[in-house]
């Protein structure tokens, strides 16, 4: 099987043709390299293709935003990354960015302006919500999610850090599934344990892993799908489900995957 008709233009290719994208899809390192999250990148690109948005990616020109370095204390490295990225983005005249990583989202949106990089930045849940509102994304009759339970795990960098709580939930509403909230949700949501560069080291000694604590809460809702909107949350929750030996019954899925699946794109 091939998907030859899928378009994944790079900004460089577009620029060569004298064109510019409406919106840049910032893939992020996890979306580019992590096997599990690459599936999310692909699902999102298929949705973008399906609705016909004029998007582009940086492709090989994209590099780490610097977020993990910054949270771990290495401001030099963060600023080196940020400055280099801003030069590339400004070189192409990018004005609008969408990303499926809340950490990239937060850094691009809130932290690049102080270094001279000013863009309109949205999280992919917000773009999906817009597409739903515009009637461009919707569920086909008799969706596979009807009657099933989904719980949504808030990403800290999307939720508390940037007050994006509604968009992911609006996206899930389209699935016609029953959205069951965990007790700790929205502003009180419990972290998956990976933020602040924890993704890149072992946890300090304690009595429990944070992702196990959070997964137990998610499993407690009785949902068969744990929806996430962040690559780190994805890894942590999937590991948690594995730890609880529930991977046969409970799936951890990104919002874009759920939408692509519901639209029959996968």
Partner 1 sequence: MIAQLAFLVVLGIFGFLIFRRIQRIKQNIHLGKSQEINDRKDERLKTMLLVAFGQKKMFKRLLPAFFHFLIYAGFILINIEVLEIVLDGLLGTHRLFAPFLGSFYTVLISFFEILAVLVILACVVFLIRRNIFKLDRFHKIEMKGWPTLDANLILVIETVLMLAILSMNAADQVLQTHGAEHYTQTGSFLISGFMVPMFENMSTSSLLILERSAWWFHIVGIFAFALYVTYSKHLHIFLAFPNTYYSRLEPKGKMGNMPEITNEVKLMLGMPADDSVAPPVEGMKFGAKDINDLTWKNLMDAYSCTECGRCTSECPANQTGKKLSPRKIMMDTRDRMEEVGDSLAKGGKGLEDGKSLLGDYVTKEEINACTSCNACVEACPVNISPLEIILQMRRYVAMEESGSPQSWNMMFQNVETNFAPWKFAPTDRFNWADELKSPNA
Binding residues among 87-106 for partner 1 as defined by CB under 8 A = 87, 106
Which CB sits closer to partner 1, 75 or 173?
A: 75
Least Å from the CB of residue 39 to partner 1: 9
Binds partner 1 by CB under 8 A, chosen from 47, 190, 252, 259: 190
63 is an interface residue for partner 1 by CB under 8 A: yes
Nearest-CA neighbor of 140 among 266, 3, 228, 48?
A: 266
- Between CA 65 and CA 117 the distance in angstroms is 12
Which CB sits closer to partner 1, 160 or 170?
A: 160
Binds partner 1 by CB under 8 A, chosen from 20, 88, 199, 265: 199
194 is an interface residue for partner 1 by CB under 8 A: yes
Which CB sits closer to partner 1, 139 or 233?
A: 233
Least Å from the CB of residue 219 to partner 1: 17
Inter-residue contact 251 to 225 (CB < 8 Å): yes
Token pair 């992919």: residue: 124
Least Å from the CB of residue 155 to partner 1: 9
81 is an interface residue for partner 1 by CB under 8 A: yes
Segment interacting with partner 1 (CB under 8 A) among 79-87, 89-97, 126-134, 139-147: 79-87
Q: Which of residues 118-177 bind partner 1 (CB under 8 A)?
A: 156-157, 160-163
Binds partner 1 by CB under 8 A, chosen from 209, 244, 246, 261: 209
Cα atoms found within 13 Å of the Cα of residue 233, Cβ hemisphere only: 27
Q: Which of residues 43-62 bind partner 1 (CB under 8 A)?
A: 45-46, 57, 59-60, 62
Least Å from the CB of residue 190 to partner 1: 6
Which CB sits closer to partner 1, 85 or 175?
A: 85
Segment interacting with partner 1 (CB under 8 A) among 93-101, 123-131, 144-152, 184-192: 184-192
Binds partner 1 by CB under 8 A, chosen from 21, 143, 168, 195: 195
Token pair 């949270």: residue: 71
Task: Give the x-and-dash track for 9-38 against partner 1 (CB under 8 A).
Answer: -x----------------x-x-xxxx---x
Q: In terms of C-beta density within 10 A (0-12 exposed, 13-18 middle, 19 or more buried), how is residue 73 classed?
A: exposed
């Amino acid at each position: 099987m091939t998907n030859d008709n899928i378009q994944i233009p790079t900004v460089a290719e577009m620029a060569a043709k004298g064109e510019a994208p409406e919106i840049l899809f910032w893939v992020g390192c996890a979306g580019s390299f992590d096997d599990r999250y690459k599936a999310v990148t692909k699902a999102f690109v298929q949705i973008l293709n399906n609705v016909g948005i004029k998007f582009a990616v940086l492709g090989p020109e994209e590099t780490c935003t610097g977020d993990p370095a910054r949270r771990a204390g290495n401001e030099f490295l963060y600023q080196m990354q940020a400055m280099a990225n801003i030069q590339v983005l400004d070189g192409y005249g990018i004005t609008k960015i969408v990303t499926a990583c809340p950490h990239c989202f937060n850094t691009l949106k809130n932290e690049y302006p102080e270094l001279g990089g000013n863009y309109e930045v949205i999280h992919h849940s917000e773009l999906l919500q817009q597409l739903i509102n515009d009637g461009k994304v919707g569920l086909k009759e008799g969706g596979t999610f009807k009657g099933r339970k989904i719980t949504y795990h808030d990403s800290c960098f999307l939720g508390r850090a940037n007050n994006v709580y509604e968009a992911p939930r609006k996206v899930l509403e389209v699935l016609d599934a029953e959205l069951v909230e965990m007790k700790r949700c929205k502003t009180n949501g419990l972290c998956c344990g990976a933020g602040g560069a924890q993704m890149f080291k072992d946890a300090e000694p304690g009595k429990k892993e944070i992702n196990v604590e959070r997964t137990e809460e998610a499993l407690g809702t009785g949902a068969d799908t744990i929806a996430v909107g962040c690559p780190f949350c994805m890894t942590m929750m999937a590991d948690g489900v594995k730890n609880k030996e529930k991977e046969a019954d409970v799936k951890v899925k990104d919002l874009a995957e759920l939408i692509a699946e519901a639209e029959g794109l996968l």
